[in-house]
Structure 1
Amino acid sequence: EEDYEPQYITYSGYSQTTDAYLKWEENMEASFQSNQVPLAEQLPYALDTLTGPAYEWWEQEENTRVYYNEPAHTWES
């Protein structure tokens, strides 16, 4: 069995496949674990890797959440 080494990758969502998203998510989970990132810091950590349309989508999600006074997101929600 080969050791898994997570890579810090970005995710833009632009013209990327579902596999690219799943690889990004897998890398995030592995990075959280290897860097012992506390749950409360996981979402900001992951957001730093979003670019382009993916980041714009997230900003819209957050604006909608705030507008409707919904609870804050976490990495797991």
Structure 2
Amino acid sequence: MSSSTPEESRSIDDHCTPDALLHTAPARDVTPEDLVMAAGRDVTPKTLDWARRKLETEGAVAVEKLLP
């Protein structure tokens, strides 16, 4: 059993992903499919209709409202 710490076992090429690459805004408008998937729902005609209505009334901020 090794007594090395996790930092010692990392390779030189092991780097963290920069925060700017992890948190990005969409390069295009939010689609109903985006909203459905962000809500954790299956993409079906019913959920797409729900998402279209929500986007029409709330706009792209509807996705932000799903976040904790």
TM-score calculated relative to the size of structure 2: 0.32
Structure number with greater Rg is: 2
Of Structure 1 and Structure 2, the greater helix share is in 1
